[in-house]
Chain A
């Protein structure tokens, strides 16, 4: 693995999530091979890579939806390897899954309410809901509308809002810009930056390499299930191999 250290001597942030030597298989097919990744408190970390590189598998393994064969996942100092997703979510490990998986025949409000039913989030549901509405006024306007009738961008906002209802301390975004118009993509990235400014640590999996590297403090390049390169977003952005392979420059 190539490590591009742009800031020698900089103290690494205390990790909120650390993944060590993770192996994940689907049957005999290996999806993740000895993957080690660290996300510091309050950091945005990006994972870039082509289709099938294992980005979604990584998120699903951390969330507890897929069970890794080897390796350890530590969240806030607690070993969460192999925990079910309802347990990891309740520890504050949130995710916004790929493809805006909102509940189409439930209303906007009901989508949000389902997000707030985690034991950790129930008591504060009302206040969180107000915060989400303040952040996304469009959702407040459309609270009674069926979620399936929202535009793509609004659905992505709803997916993010629904995740926030669960009081996460760390959010994994899986391809949040997928299938969205360029202006909406900008809006989504703005939102991610805003959430980060509030102190949320973020793991961002994206095919939009340029945007995510600009946003990320640290980034990893995943190829065929392996981490092949890592460094600060800026360092990777100026690296020739990254520019050739992912930016087409």
Chain B
């Protein structure tokens, strides 16, 4: 994928990487917090994209894995003094187990499409209800991590300054991009695309669709739970009503939808656009002096509507073509293939 994108795109990518690396020196705390949010949604969008964008399985309950990840690591930290990196292992394992249960139920019994999506919502919802009553984890009153003023950044325990959190999230998002790029080049990546395009045809070709879909769910849920671990240590508080909320699941999927489902850079671009749009609208409203409750949401929704109307494949494919980052699809004398707009 990276080898297939042209020098111009590679240059742009290098410039972006450099900007992100030096951002803490040139940006204030507010900008940095927005950047963390963008990277967070770029990461979760990437994780969700593995299931939906690559393998075609629509999950509307990804907040489930964020919540399980966050609560697992936080509980181990608070109750047993186990640091977030050890906790992350448990968090990933727990999320993958839940993902495996959902996947097994759905794929073994042929639940697909919207019914699969409903199943993912149902699991997220009843997990939320369960956590609402789990006293050991604070129940609906919330679960809090101890916060202390610190002299130095403690990366081992994820206690420290916003800059440290920024770099941790940047590393996660970068790793997710690299991982997904690699995944698409492997055999399973091809199998996923085949299943996404036409599951019956994939089956007829001898692809083990059950196994491939299970792997997609496992990878996606495991990746997403790491975002949950980050969330817990970044915000230091967890409320079932918030973290398992269906609105959170929707937030995760908006980025890839706006940016371009199934593309590698779509989730990143989508996350950036949405965050800037939300902040931009707030700023604009303040400038004009309009104070209408709900007007921000209306404007936000309208923008989403316009994007999906005029760019149904997302912003990234169109933008990449416009900027000349990919060659136009068509016969290619070199025999190279043009898979997705991002290479």
Contact = CB atoms under 8 A, between A and B. Distances in A.
A and B from one complex: yes
Contacts of A184: none
Contacts, number: 89
A114 B338 CA distance: 15
Interface in B159-213: 187, 190-191, 193-194, 197-198, 200-208
A144 B338 contact: yes
A114 B337 contact: no
Interface residues of A, number: 34
Interface in A131-188: 141-146, 149, 162-163, 166
A105 B201 CA distance: 14
Nearest to A84: B208
B146 interface: no
B11 interface: no
Given A110-B337, A114-B205, A143 B331 contact: yes
B332 interface: yes
Contact of B203 (A65, A103, A113): A65
Given A109-B337, A145-B331, A85 B190 contact: no
A97 interface: yes
Contacts of B202: 114
B204 A63 contact: yes
A85 B206 contact: yes
The number of chain B residues touching the other chain, given as a range, is 20 to 34
Contacts of B336: 144
A144 B193 contact: no
B204 A65 contact: yes
A107 B204 contact: no
Contact of A143 (B190, B194, B332, B340): B332
Nearest to A111: B194
A104 B205 contact: no
B339 A86 contact: no
Contact of A104 (B197, B204, B339): B197
A86 B207 contact: yes
Interface string A82-108: 001110111000010100011111110
A163 B201 CA distance: 10
A163 to B, nearest CB: 8
A173 B29 CA distance: 64
Contacts of B187: 117
Interface of B: 187, 190-191, 193-194, 197-198, 200-208, 329-332, 335-340
Given A143-B337, A144-B338, 10 more contacts: A65-B203, A84-B208, A85-B206, A89-B206, A106-B193, A110-B339, A114-B202, A114-B207, A115-B205, A144-B330
